[in-house]
Structures are given as structure tokens and as C-alpha cells.
Amino acid sequence: MTNPILALHEVAFTYPEGSVGLQNCTLAIPRGSRTAILGVNGSGKTTLCLHLNGILRPQAGEVLFDGQPLDYSRRALKTLRSQVGLVFQNPESQLLSASVREDVSFGPMNLGLEPHEVRARVEQALAAVGLASLADKPVHSLSFGQKKRVCLAGVLAMQPEVIILDEPFSGLDIPMQRDLYAILADLSLLGITLVICSHDLDFAYEWADHWHILAAGKVAASWDLQQIPDVLPQVALLGLGTPKVAELYRELLMAGLIPPLPQPPRSHAELLAEIRRANRKIIRHTAAAR
Amino acid sequence: MLIESWAYCNRWRWVHPGAKGLLTLLAFISAFVATQPWFLFALALGLAMLTMVGAGIPLQYYLRVFVPPLGFLVIGAATLAISIRSTDSLWPVAIAWEPSQFPQVIRLCGRSLACLTALLFLAFTTPMTDLIALLRRLKMPAILLEIMTLGYRLVFVFLSAAQDITTAQKARLGYATVRAARRSLGNMVAVLAIQVWQRAAALERAALSRANDGPLLFLDNEFTGSRSCFAVSGAGGLTLLLLALLL
């Protein structure tokens, strides 16, 4: 991999109270990629995220940004955090101000930008997450999903190169999930590296082009998009289950109901389209035979 | 909560907080400078009308906030208006009205009402975040502003947490008897205390993640037509002050 934007090299971290966070953790996140960090609850995903922006410092091993080991001085960490944004799972733990606009302005203000620049970035970020109409409302009157979007806007306003999201879809209803998915697609098109921690295998199968699977603080496996369809039995063995789309595709193939495809479908919509295509062929066949 | 909700949707929400603050300040000064009780009561009434008619706060909601502090006023006035003397008769204490204090009591009541209505004018028309931003512009110490910002935000977080906990407790009959209620309340306070510490740690981590370097920096809101607002409020406030001095 040519110069990954973020990498961990044999990182080990144990919390003060004794619980193990990460053990001998080595992984790389390619520039501009869509990486999914998968694992059950307690596998070390959040700990990993906190290492990527320098909040936690490994007791062994090193964390690299752009090929360079992290400098843990105050100024260097500030620069790192302007380039690596982290959106936590719980919005209540991130929102500092009761005003939406004020909270989103927190990040750019910390970067020392001029007020007019900060204002422009805030408006841009709020528009990107679809909250422009709610910018004047107090934070405590927003729904959970809207609060999550304020948190994302707060990080977007800093215009980082990498955005790490810890369980971004948890607690969101279907329309909000679709909106968030669209926002992530836009960010990806802009070349921003996205890292999402999740235990939702279906989402990862549809969205990610790189997978890292964590188990008990260790990296159990790392796979690229091309490898994933072939390694699904191993994924199941790791306790994460199997992506429903992959399972259905395999069964439909074995039953001979759809032809084998050069690229297996990764999303529900794609699989549905294939089934309908195959169905139309069958109907045409039967009609022709008559 | 009532003031809170009206502060965000009143007619004068987008008037510069500095202009509103200036009027409030000049009204306060007028209240302290004035000597005529009728002027003080008129000032109080005028400010109340300004809040209700100008900013559009309905009377019922205004009264709901206005009436409770009057209890303190009554106690204060009573302390002045009533004298307690020891006597030699069977009943050792004599309680009587003190007519000589009445002018002072009336002036006190007038002044308190004027100050209360001035404060309510500012509170009902200006959201807390704008007030904090105003204080920031007035160079109030940063540490105090940070306490206010975070405290204001966390009031709602903890209110919601407390509601969630009491709902869960009620669902398990936690408030079925007085004894159970006492225990449940104690448990809730203990849980919230731990949450205070946990949330503070999480907030600090989140602030660091957004490149925070110590002081909490926020961008102030923009307000249009500020100059005219300041001119109007300044003129109004100075008129009150002049009247207070001259009358």
C-alpha cells in the first residue's frame, strides 16, 4: 500500500484500571479509502479511534500519520486533530454549546481562522448535513439524529483529511440513515478518507472497500474489497455473522435462480435488481417457449 | 424552561443583545437613582409592557415568571414594615407596624419591581447563548464564561438524564411508597453524580478532538441593524435616567 494516511504498528494499550484496550495491533488505512473497523462491543474499536487522533498514547508500538510517527507535543497534536476528525458515538458527550451554530464554530475557531472564514465554513458544514434550517435552534430542542448531525457538522467545518466515525448509524431512524449514507458518499467523492467503526456487517459489505476486524483488542483480519466475498466464511467464524446480501446471493446462485455475476452484488438494491433481471429473462423464456 | 423557550422565539430575538443589555443596564441605574415611588412603579409597568407588547410575551407566561420572586419582596418589605420589640408584660414580644418605615418600604418595593421587570425584559428576549456572547464581548473572565456555557448546556443534559432515570425507577415501582421514593431519589442522585464525572471526561475528550487548546472559543452571532437598535435603546435608557434624576 503506497503511503497509507494512518497506520498502527504493533500498538498496545491497557487502561489504567487494567482492562486491555489494544494488543499488538497493526493496521493501515489507505488514503481516500472507505475503511470499516468491525468488531463486537468491547473489541477495542473506540480505543483504536482514540489512538488515531492522539487522545490515547500507546504504551508500545507507534501510530503513524502520513508515514510519520505521531508527535505528542501540544502543537503537533493540535495540527493532527485538525487533519483527523473524530465523531463520537454519543452526541451528548460532544456538544459543548447550547447553540447549533456556536457549537459548529468551535472547531474552526480553535484552528485560529478569521471570523468571516469561520462563518463561511459553519454555513457550509450545516448545509452539507442538511441542518441549515435548524441552525438557530437550541441544541437541546433537537432530536437525537439531528444532534448527531450537528456533531458531524462540527468536524466537517474543520475540513479534515480523515474523518473517523464511531457507530454513526446507531440510534438513527431509516430516513436519517439514508441521509447520512448520502452525506458519506459526498464526502468520499471529495477524496476525504472515511473510517467507520461499526458492528453492522451489512453496511460494511455495501459501503467499505477495506475491512479491519478487531477481536479482544487484536486485529483478527484485514481485507480489501476484492478479497471480501471469498473470506466470508472466516468472517462468520469471527462471530460477526454473514452479510445478508452475500448469503442470499449464494443461496440464489446454488438454486440456479440467478446467473453468476462478475461482481457479486453488495447491496440490497443491487441484489433486488439482479433478481428482477433474472425474473424477466425467465418470463421471456417461458413466453418464447409457448 | 418558560423563559428559555420564549427567549428563542420572541419578536426581538434578533435585536442585538448589546442593545437590549444597554437598555436593561440604564433601567437598573434609573431604578437606583430615582427617589419618587410613583416613577419606580411606572418604570416597572413600562418595562413589563415593553416585554409583553413589544417582544410578544403573553401575559399568562409573563406572570408565571413574575409572581414567584414577589414572595421574596414581601418578606423583605415585611422585615422593614414590622417592628418586633421586647416588652415587660406577660407576652415578651410586641409585634407592630412601623409607619415611619412605610415610605422606605414603598420605595424598596418600587425599586425591586423595576429591577425585576428590567431583568425579565432581558431574560425573555435574549437566549442564554447570546447573553454569554455579550459578556464575552464585554471581556468578562474566560473561566466564568466557560462555566456558564458548559453549565447551561449540561443543565439540559442532566435534566434529561434525571427524567430518564426517574421514569425507569417509576416503571419498577420506585416511587410507590415514601420510603421507596426516598431510596430511589438517593440512587438517582448517586448515579447522576457519577455521570457528571463521566460526561465531563467525555466532553473534554471531544473538545480535544476538535483541536481545543485550553480556552473555549466560539463565534458570535451576527445581528443586522445593530446601529439603529443601539441608538433606540440608548436613547430610551438615557431618557429614563434623566427622568429619574430630574423627578
A115: which chain B residues are within 8 Å (Cβ-Cβ)? 219-220
DSSP class of residue A24 equals: E
- C-alpha gyration radius of chain A: 21
Q: Which residues contact A286 (CB under 8 A, 6 or more apart)?
A: none
Mutation target vs A (from B219, B220, B222, B224; most A CBs, 10 A cutoff): B219
Predicted confidence (pLDDT) at residue B90 exceeds the cutoff of 80: no
User: What integer pLDDT is reported at residue A161 of this predicted model?
Assistant: 96
Provide the pLDDT confidence category of residue A171 given band limits of 50, 70 and 90.
confident
Provide the pLDDT confidence category of residue A1 given band limits of 50, 70 and 90.
low
Provide the pLDDT confidence category of residue A205 given band limits of 50, 70 and 90.
very high
Least confident window among A72-86, A195-209, A233-247: A233-247
Give the minimum alpha-carbon distance from B228 to chain A in angstroms, rounded to a whole number.
Answer: 23
Mean pLDDT of A265-282: 90
Mutation target vs B (from A15, A17, A109; most B CBs, 10 A cutoff): A109
pLDDT digits (tens, 9 = 90+) for A112-154: 999 999 999 999 999 999 999 999 889 989 999 999 999 999 9
Q: Specify the pTM.
A: 0.87
What is the three-class DSSP state of B98? coil
User: What integer pLDDT is reported at residue A33 of this predicted model?
Assistant: 95
Residues 168-187 of B with CB under 8 A from A: none
A34-38/A210-215 β-pairing: parallel
Mutation target vs A (from B145, B205, B210; most A CBs, 10 A cutoff): B210
User: What integer pLDDT is reported at residue B223 of this predicted model?
Assistant: 86
Please indicate whether, in this complex, the C-beta atoms of A97 and B206 are within 8 angstroms of each other. no
Least confident window among A58-72, A170-184, A229-243, B89-103: B89-103
pLDDT digits (tens, 9 = 90+) for B23-48: 999 999 999 999 899 999 999 999 99
A197 touches chain B (CB under 8 A): no
Q: What is the mean pLDDT of chain A?
A: 92
DSSP class of residue A143 equals: -
What is the three-class DSSP state of B18? helix
pLDDT digits (tens, 9 = 90+) for A87-96: 999 999 899 9
Q: Which residue of A81, A98, A108 is in closest CB contact with B153? A: A98
Residues 128-157 of B with CB under 8 A from A: 128-129, 133, 149-150, 152-153, 156-157
Q: Which residues contact B109 (CB under 8 A, 6 or more apart)?
A: B37, B73, B77
Query: Nearest to residue A168, comparing CAs of A91, A64, A110?
Result: A91
User: What integer pLDDT is reported at residue A107 of this predicted model?
Assistant: 95
**Residue percentage of chain A with pLDDT more than 90:** 75
A53: which chain B residues are within 8 Å (Cβ-Cβ)? 209
Q: Which residues contact B72 (CB under 8 A, 6 or more apart)?
A: none
Provide the pLDDT confidence category of residue A42 given band limits of 50, 70 and 90.
confident
A138 touches chain B (CB under 8 A): yes
